[in-house]
Amino acid sequence: MEHSPAAAWVTQAAVAAEQQGAGSLLRVVLIVMVVGCVLTAWFLLRGYKQKDD
């Protein structure tokens, strides 16, 4: 595997993203949003758990 400077890697990524479109970015954003909503719901709802003492 060749070592390439960071600027070249960023340029290659930008060209690839331009060719592919926004599909990958939107997919990642949606997955992060869903995971964030699930974690937020779990965090908020765990305080409402009833304790049977």
**Which tokens is 12 given?**
């290659």
Q: What is the mean pLDDT of residues 2-28?
A: 73
**Per-residue confidence at 47, pLDDT binned at 50, 70, 90?**
confident
Mean pLDDT of the residues in the chain = 79
- For residue 34, pLDDT over 90 is answered with yes
**Which pLDDT value is given to residue 53?**
57
**Which pLDDT value is given to residue 38?**
97
- For residue 17, pLDDT over 90 is answered with no
